[in-house]
Amino acid sequence: MLNILWLGFFLVAAAAALFQWLVLGDPAVFARLITSLFDMADLSVKLMLMLFGTLTLWMGFLKIAESAGLVAGLARLLGPLFRRLMPEVPAGHPALGLITLNFAANALGLDNAATPIGLRAMHALQTLNPEPRSASNAQILFLVLNSSSLTLLPVTIFMYRAQQGAADPTLVFLPILLATSASTLAGLLSVAFMQRLRLHDPVVLAWLGGGALLLGGFMALLASMSAAAVAALSSLMGNLALFGILIAFLAAGAWKRIPVYESFIEGARDGFDVCKGLLPYLVAMLCAVGVLRASGALDVLLDGIRWLAHAGGLDARFVDALPTALVKPFSGSAARALMIETMQHSGPDSFAALLAATVQGSTETTFYVLAVYFGAVGIQRARHAVGCALLADVAGVLASIGVCYWFFG
């Protein structure tokens, strides 16, 4: 799928460029294509340098949290919930710890670091699978929750916004938090319906009901505030959460008397290893998206959708962020490239860029996750995993649009 998508970007760009030259009489289009290629290659290297630092930093602190027992404590806390949502996984099974660590990495927005942990969790769940070629219920729930984007603190998106010159990189913290809550809830409920999970169990009700009450109360508070106050709160909470988590990890490590510096270095080294292979993907996707925009093909597509939105009486500002939403289920790197390109084209603090960042933080690469996670353990029958995961994606996109109009509209 990714091969077809990437090749399609270049072929469509070539066709659009030929049309502009032969029909519209604009030979300068080819100069714009070449300029875009070099500009995007240069941008890829600049982004890579900042991504190296971001992933290395957070993987180092995550290692401190793991060494201090915070991840194991979280696994024990979530144990009663997991036993009801994944009844076929025995209490204390190694898969539960790996799932918790994967969710922790996803919650911090470290999607590239979460993947190797998730693969280990999928292998652990496969040891309990009575039909190795067919996805088990536990594997489906784990995959759908992954594809629903459990992003609570999207540090990499903050990093991209900072690199593009956003006045306040953390401005999208609350929109992403609300949108990812909607996508995760949609994914969980759809899997629960298909697997007939007992959501009325007191423990499940306590978790879901407590979360719903907190989220509902928080949204009621936001509804009573002005737009400027909401934006200021999002900035404050984003920065406070970032720094607070770092201090909490360090304090837990010091309390447990672990060598925090050595643990940080060990985790940072893992982050470096995860990150160093990403540059080719960034170059490939950013250059493909760059020529697509320079050829005029992307603008033609968006203008058509914008016309339909106006004809339906809709506010069409969301249209400029649609490329990120449409591509995200197929390729995270392509969606990331489109988000960055939207920031460059419209400005990092434009409505389109804010919405694209929110969509990027609240949806996931469903088909990529499906192929990698299930392919790694030889699963050929996905059962209801695809439908539930796509439903979560749709919920995330719709929630992102609604929340961004609420916050920034």
Task: Specify the 3-state DSSP secondary structure of 127.
Answer: coil
Give dist(CA 27, CA 46) in Å, integer.
30
pLDDT at 292: 81
d(CA 25, CA 35): 19
**Alpha carbon distance 37, 16 (integer Å):** 16
Rounded to whole angstroms, the Cα distance separating 394 from 366 reads 11
Q: What's the DSSP call for residue 383?
A: T
C-alpha distances (whole Å) from 145 to each of 114, 314, 361 are: 13, 32, 14
In the predicted model, residues of the chain with pLDDT beneath 50 are none
Concatenating the DSSP letter of every residue in 137-180 gives HHHHHHHHHHHT---SS-HHHHHHHHHTT-S-GGGGHHHHHHHH
Helix, strand, coil abundance in the chain, percent, nearest 5 = 80, 0, 20
pLDDT value, residue 46: 77
Burial (CB count within 10 angstroms: exposed 0-12, middle 13-18, buried 19+), residue 196: exposed
Q: Which residues are paired to 381 by β-bridges?
A: 134
pTM, two decimals, is 0.72
Distance, CA of 139 to CA of 370 (rounded, Å): 11
Q: What is the pLDDT of residue 277?
A: 64
Output the DSSP codes for 35-50: HHHHHHHHHHHHHHHH
Q: What average pLDDT is seen over the chain?
A: 81
CB atoms within 10 A of CB 399: 23
How distant, in Å, are the alpha carbons of 193, 207, 218 from that of 211? 19, 6, 10
Q: In this predicted structure, what is the pLDDT of residue 355?
A: 92
CB 55 within 8 A of CB 113: yes
Q: Give the model's pLDDT for residue 276.
A: 66
pLDDT of the residue at 15: 92
pLDDT of residue 255: 92
Q: Distance between CA atoms of 348 and 172, rounded to whole angstroms?
A: 11
Please give the pLDDT value at position 251.
92
> Cα–Cα distance between 136 and 94 in angstroms, integer?
17
Residue 322 is predicted with a pLDDT of 84
